[in-house]
Amino acid sequence: MDLASLRVGVPHADALIALADAATLPDGAEGEGARARARARLSAAMGPRAMVDAAAVAANFEMMTRLADATGALLDRADRAEAGALAGADGFASRRDPDRPTHGG
C-alpha cells in the first residue's frame, strides 16, 4: 500500500489531506501560503468549525508522534507487521523492531 497515493473515498478527502500536509510544513512563505489556501479550501467545503477541528487533529498528531518516538513506543508484534506490510511503514525512519534492532545517533 502506498500511503502517499492512497484514496479512501471520503468526501473532501483532498481538502483534509491538504490541511494536514500544510500543517506539517516549516516556517516560511511556502508553508504560510499552503496553510492559508488549505484553510480557505476546507472551510468552503466543510465549514469553519470543521476546519478548526481538523487543525486540532493535526496538532494532536504532531504531539502524539513525538510522544511515541521520544519514548520508544512499540506496537505489538502483530500490529508492527501489519503497519509495515499493509501501510508501508517499514520504510519510515522511526521503525522500531526489537527483533531487528537499529543503531545510530
Partner 1 sequence: MTTTADVRADLASVHDEAWASLSRPGPRWSAAARRALARTAADAMWVADPPPPWVAASSVPGALADGALDAAPAAAHDAAARIARHAATLTRDWYDRVRTALDPLAYVELVGVVCVVAALTSLRRTLGLAPRALDAAPDGPAGDPTRAAPPALAEARRNWVPVAAPADATAAVVQALTAVPPAHDLLWRLAAAQYIPDAEMVDPRWTRGTLTRVEIELVATRVSQRRECHY
- Within the chain, how many helices (H) and strands (E) appear? 4, 0
> Of residues 33-72, which lie at the interface with partner 1 (CB under 8 A)?
35-36, 39, 46-72
Contact in structure between 69 and 94 (CB atoms under 8 Å)? yes
Contact string 67-86 vs partner 1 (x = CB under 8 A): xxxxxxxxx----x--xx--
With cell 504560510, the residue in question is: 32
Q: What cell was used for 31?
A: 508553508
Binding site for partner 1 (CB under 8 A): 3-4, 8, 10, 12-13, 16-17, 19-24, 26-28, 31-32, 35-36, 39, 46-75, 80, 83-84, 89-90, 92-96, 101-105
